[in-house]
Amino acid sequence: MNDDARKRPATMDAETLEFIQGLFALVREGDTQQLGAMVAQGVPVNFRNEKGDSLIMLASYHGHLETSRLLLAAGADANVPNEQGQTPLAGVAYKGYLELAELLLQHGASVDGASPDGKTPLMMAAMFNRLAILDLLLQHGARIDAVDSRGMTAVTLARSMNAQETLARLASLGQAE
């Protein structure tokens, strides 16, 4: 094989591309039954799209508890970040999906798994007033004093987003700045 052939990206035929797009559509829609049949036939559960979003990232981000449960039970990695470095746990902290946060933690999601800018799931929960998730993450040992790349903590991020309930909760924990 010459050097030019090695540098060219592999191209997919239309049928393969359609199959992959259909797979990701099933996940976004939360079609656990059809996805389960595909997983049983060997579809890789850690498959990722062009943005680096894994199947578990999309299922959890779209709030599909049963689809997420299926993927995790089949071995999906709860810590695979997308191309922006966002993890499924940070995504559900942002969206406010408590049951999904619990499920991801049960399947090994890193409670302090930070994105490249240093934001942790706890910071996401703090910024968007997700008190139940904030409490869950703290119960699982999340670092309340973590600092992102701009020197911001959960408290300063909550303040920047005017997340008053979060500020009150963090103050009650001795985290006022």
- Tell me what pLDDT residue 118 has: 95
- 125-143 pLDDT tens trace: 999 999 999 999 999 999 9
CB 135 within 8 A of CB 119: no
Map out the domains of the chain with their CATH numbers. 14-110 (1.25.40.20), 111-177 (1.25.40.20)
Instruction: Evaluate whether 48 touches 20 at the Cβ level (below 8 Å).
Output: no
User: Which residues 6+ apart lie within 8 Å of 149 measured at CB?
Assistant: 116, 117, 118
User: What's the pTM?
Assistant: 0.89
pLDDT tens digits, one per residue of 112-129: 999 999 999 999 999 999
Structure tokens at 43: 């579809």
So what's the pLDDT on residue 13?
Answer: 79
Tens-place pLDDT, residues 57-99: 999 999 999 999 999 999 999 999 999 999 999 999 999 999 9
Contacts for 126 with CB less than 8 Å, ≥ 6 apart: 134, 154, 155, 157, 158, 163, 166, 170
7-60 tens-digit pLDDT? 555 666 788 888 888 999 999 999 999 999 999 999 999 999 989 999 999 999
Rounded percentage of the chain residues whose pLDDT exceeds 90: 82
pLDDT of residue 17: 82
pLDDT at position 88: 97
Tell me the residue type at 166.
Answer: T
Mean pLDDT of 136-160: 96
pLDDT, mean over the chain? 92
SS (H, E, C) 101-168: HHHHHHCCCCCCCCCCCCCCHHHHHHHCCCHHHHHHHHHCCCCCCCCCCCCCCHHHHHHHCCCHHHHH
Q: Which residue has the higher pLDDT, 171 or 102?
A: 102
